[in-house]
Amino acid sequence: MQVDTQTQQQCTTKTPEITYPCLWLYKVIGEDATTLAKAINVVCPASAVIVPSKTSSGGKYCSLNVEIEVANEATRLAIYQNLKNHLAVKMVL
């Protein structure tokens, strides 16, 4: 199967168009839901809505969905980076 080079470049270089302000959903993964929720409360604005998501099959990891209204791209990226840098957080999607 061949992929058209021009089509492939358009797909990889095109960024999504986001209209701000908007609701943004982060999936935050860590080892303990309570510790993870505390970390989210430290990093995120008080208006953040935290909803339990899933637990890994072995029970070692859990994830929480965090929904926040972000005013602009800088705010969205700053929240992502601050969550990612917190010691209780293993991964942010």
**CA 51 from centroid of its chain's CA atoms:** 13
Find out whether 68 and 26 touch, Cβ atoms under 8 Å.
Answer: yes
For the stretch 9-20, pLDDT in tens is 666 667 789 999
pLDDT tier for residue 84 given thresholds of 50, 70 and 90: very high
For the stretch 61-82, pLDDT in tens is 999 999 999 999 999 999 999 9
Task: Provide the angle, in degrees to the nearest 10, between the axes of the packed helices 73-85 and 33-43.
Answer: 140
Find out whether 28 and 40 touch, Cβ atoms under 8 Å.
Answer: yes
User: What is the residue range of 41's domain?
Assistant: 26-92
pLDDT tier for residue 55 given thresholds of 50, 70 and 90: very high
> Which CATH number do you get for residue 55?
3.30.70.260
User: Is residue 86 included in any domain, yes or no?
Assistant: yes
Q: Is the pLDDT of residue 88 over 60?
A: yes
Q: Into how many domains does the chain fold?
A: 1
Break the chain down into helix, strand, coil percent, rounded to 5.
35, 30, 35
